[in-house]
Amino acid sequence: MPEKDRIKIERLKKITSPQEIQEAEDELKRWRDNITVDDNEIKENQPSLGSSSKSNLPPVRGMDEKSSSKTNNNVVTTSHESSDISSRNDESKRISGYDFDGWEKYDVEGEIEKIDQPISSSSNDEKKSKREIRQSKELQKIADDLGVDSMTQAGRKWGSEQARRSGNDSFKSEDYEEG
């Protein structure tokens, strides 16, 4: 018989000592007490959140982008379609390999200079800082709307769990606006 199987059988035959049983029971009691305390905290904070928490939820991510990209025909253009359009524009700027007059007018030195110019890092830093400021303002507004500062940790957990379940249910029922 393989060593591994022999050890399994020996463990199964071994009788648990009363001390091991008592330790396991004590550990289960401690766990039950911790869960009861957490459950009571959640129950205390549940009425304060109520149904008003649903109306204070922040908007769904990406909804502004989709609504602003609607055309007159109420068709939403995706970023993939817009990239196809821009690539078509780039292709129209390309000079055909057989367009010898076009190649004679092409300024190679000018293009090399455009490529070699260093990108100004200060303008990138300004864009990043503006973006970070805007994001922090949005997050602060959402936190103020929800009243997160006045909630306990258990209340926050309960609220986030309720929002998650609601979003999942909405997604399953294909109600993407609410989800």
Residue 89 has pLDDT above 60, yes or no: no
In a domain, 101, yes or no: no
Q: Cβ(69)–Cβ(75) under 8 Å?
A: no
Q: Is residue 4 part of a domain?
A: yes
Place of tokens 């390309």: 94
- 166: enclosing H helix or E strand: helix 153-172
Angle between helix axes 153-172 and 18-49 (nearest 10 degrees) is: 80
Closest listed residue to residue 64, CA positions, set 173, 177, 168: 177
Q: Is residue 34 part of a domain?
A: yes
**pLDDT reported for residue 7:** 85
Q: Which of 161, 126, 162, 148 is nearest to 54 (CA)?
A: 162
At 126 the pLDDT is 73
Please count the structural domains in the chain: 1
Q: Check pLDDT > 60 for residue 23.
A: yes
Give me the chain's average pLDDT, please. 76
The answer to whether residue 75 sits within a structural domain is: no
pTM over 0.75: no
Amino acid 22: pLDDT = 93
Both tokens assigned to 112: 């090399």
Per-residue pLDDT at 26 exceeds 50: yes
Segments forming the whole domain that contains residue 27:
1-56+134-179
pLDDT at 70: 47
The DSSP element (H or E) to which 32 belongs, if any, is helix 18-49
49, 148 Cβ separation under 8 angstroms: no
What's the chain's Rg over C-alpha atoms? 31
- Domain for residue 103, yes or no? no
Q: What is the band of 148 on the pLDDT scale with cuts at 50, 70, 90? A: confident
Contact of 58 with 145, CB cutoff 8 Å: yes
When mean pLDDT is compared across 16-20, 81-85, 167-171, the lowest value belongs to 81-85
d(CA 151, CA 50): 13
Answer yes or no: is pLDDT of 143 > 80.
no
Instruction: Reduce the DSSP state of residue 70 to 3 states and report it.
Output: strand
